[in-house]
Structure formats: structure tokens, C-alpha cells
Amino acid sequence: MQCDHFDAGRCRSCTLIGVPYDKQLADKERRVAEVLAPVAPALLWVDPARSPSSHYRNKAKLVVGGTAGKPTLGILDHRGRGIDLRDCGLYEPGLAATFGALHDLVARLGLEPYDVPARRGELKYLLVTHSPAGEQLVRFVLRSQRHLDAVRAAIPALLDELPSVRVVTANLHPEHKAVLEGDTEIALTPQTTLPMTVGDVTLRLGPRSFFQTNTTVAAALYRQARDWVDAAAPTVVWDLYCGVGGFALHAAAPGRTVVGVETSADAVAAARGAVAAAPDAGYVEFVVGDATTTTVEPAPDLVVVNPPRRGIGPDLAAWLDASPAGHVIYSSCNVVTLARDLAAMPSLRAVTGRVFDMFPQTPHTEVMVLLQRTATPS
């Protein structure tokens, strides 16, 4: 992959851009295996899930910079000035095709981009998610409600120009913090969730829902998890940190009970909506709760965990180690915390692992392992 922005020093995010893709992937596999070897010496590795080396991102987190009449959509440089990255080679083509109309809309609205060093301005980010069906969810991250009516009034024209946009919201983010969003979300369209079809499962993404950035590799991740679940043939599956239900819905099958646990009420509502639209999924239930402390019934034969970078931590690891579950599937975005958590579950042996390359051109690595119980809980 070649990038003029990288070559000119305007954006250095793709730190592996000069490394051939096969070598990137081999290096990632080697590092993951080295980190896990002390706690999983007999781990059998499946061939990694490859990604397109470019045009793989299904979402854009565009910092709005520049001026009210001439905005930039991309990132900020070290001095807080906007760098326009609408032509970044990582975005899916259908996603990138929306940027021109969105840029022109921002320019017409005349909203002052948020100036980070000066701590003034109104429009902070445009967040855009693209589905395999070619539809989009667009979020305007604003500092206040001051220009909300102007944004709302512009939505019909935006939908005329971009009929593939299904969901538009305004997120209010008044604080000067290095986070993407605030606590208040205001719907600007009647539809509030974006259907995201992955394989034969259609998820429902709300504005604040987490979904993997690489749809191709996410599909491989869910297929692998489904294969491992089906091979284990559990009667009851728990999906902890379930988000919008990706693992849970792929694990669902006739005669099987699947329960998902997630702290986000919005994500649980979206997951329940996906179940309602899939009457043949079997018995699938989603509950709002903390994955590390919530106990649901019935007890699981298999547990899927997909925690954030901090991992599952000692309490949940101890519970899983002593639980009745015969298998655990652990999907991790941080191999260091994965290794720590595996060491805390001596009754569960990591038997199979696979690397999923969600972010080519970067060192970031996702890995999923299948654990099998080797000792009966006391």
C-alpha cells in the first residue's frame, strides 16, 4: 500500500505501511505465539484470518478542522491544525464515497470546527459507519445544542444527496476531553439503528454500539467462534461483554440457550431488536449487567468472553476457572492481558488459537483462543 499522506509526513498512523503484508502477518503471529507460549505451550494455531491490505475500514472517525467555510475532515497535526484525509486508502469505497457530500454540508452549515488548543468552536467530529449493504450511520459530534436546529434542518437535503444514509444523530460533547463522544445522543432521523449483516446474521448497530472496524475479518471471527461452539455442542452458552450480540447470535441454534450480558443498555436494546428480527435463532436472551459480576441462569456449558483491552481481570478469571463451563472462547484485542488471564485459569487449557488481522498496516493484533477444561471444579 502506498500513501501520499504518509510519505509527506502528514499522517504516520500506518506504521507498517512499508512492510509487505505477508511479513506483517507473520510477525504478528510470531509475537502472539511468543507472548502466549509460557501459559499455553501446547496451543495449536489455525491459519490466521487475513484482511484486504487496504480499503478495509467500515467506520471513519473524522476530526473536523480548518475553518467554518473551509473545513477539513481527518486528523489534527501536532499544532492542532486540520489535515484532510478524505482520500485515506484504508476506508471502504462505499464509506469514502460519502465524504464529499458530508464535507460540503459542513461547509454550508458554517459551523466553526472545534479548535483544540484554543478550546473553542462547535463541531468536533463526524463519525460514519458503513454496512455491507451500502448504508450508513452518521453522527455529528457537537460541543453544544447551539446549532442543533441548523443541523436538523439540513438533514433532508443530506438524505436527498446521500439516500444510502439511514441513521443520523447529534452527539453533545461539551467537555474538553480526548474522547470521541459525550453522554447525550439526539436522533435526527426516524430510523435509529443500522442493519449490519455479517454472514447469515443481521446485527443492529445503534449510534454508540461497538462493532469491529473490519467487516471481512469480523465475519471470519464470528464464523470461527460458531465452529468452535458447534463442535463443543453446549446446551447453554453465555456471551459476556456481548455488545450488540455478534457472538451470541452466531452461537444460537435450535435446542440451545444463549444469554448475552452487556453493560450498555443501548447495545442490549439493539441486540434484542436483532433477535426479534430473527425468529429462527433459537432461545437468545440479552441482559444489562456487568460481565465480571452478573450471574444469570441457567449455568453455562460454554462461555464466550470478548473484553476490552484491560482483559477480564482476576475476579472473572477465578469464577470461570471454578465454573461448570467445559469450554471458554476468549476473544482478545490485547495479547498481554490475555496471557495474564490465561495464567489465572489453570483448570482451563488453551487448545486452539487464531490470529485475526483487523488492522493491516499497524501492529495491532486480535487473537481468539479456545479453552477446554482439564480439571473438575472443586
Q: Supply the residues annotated as catalytic.
A: 333
Q: How many angstroms separate the Cα of 183 from the Cα of each of 114, 175, 210?
A: 18, 10, 15
Q: Which residues contact 120 (CB under 8 A, 6 or more apart)?
A: 112, 114
Q: What are phi and psi of 196, to 5 degrees?
A: -130, 100
Q: With contact defined as beta carbons under 8 Å apart, do 40 and 369 qualify?
A: yes
Cis peptide bond N-terminal to 298, omega within 30: yes
3-state secondary structure of 138: strand
> Which residue type does 109 have?
L
Nearest residue to 51 (alpha-carbon basis) of 28, 32, 33, 74: 28
* The CA-based dihedral angle spanning residues 295, 297, 302, 308, taken in that order and rounded to the nearest 10 degrees: -30
Q: With contact defined as beta carbons under 8 Å apart, do 217 and 49 qualify?
A: yes
Q: Is the dihedral of CA 72, 76, 77, 78 positive or negative?
A: positive
Nearest residue to 304 (alpha-carbon basis) of 254, 363, 252: 252
What residues form DSSP beta bridges with 197? Answer: 202
CA 230 remoteness from chain centre: 24
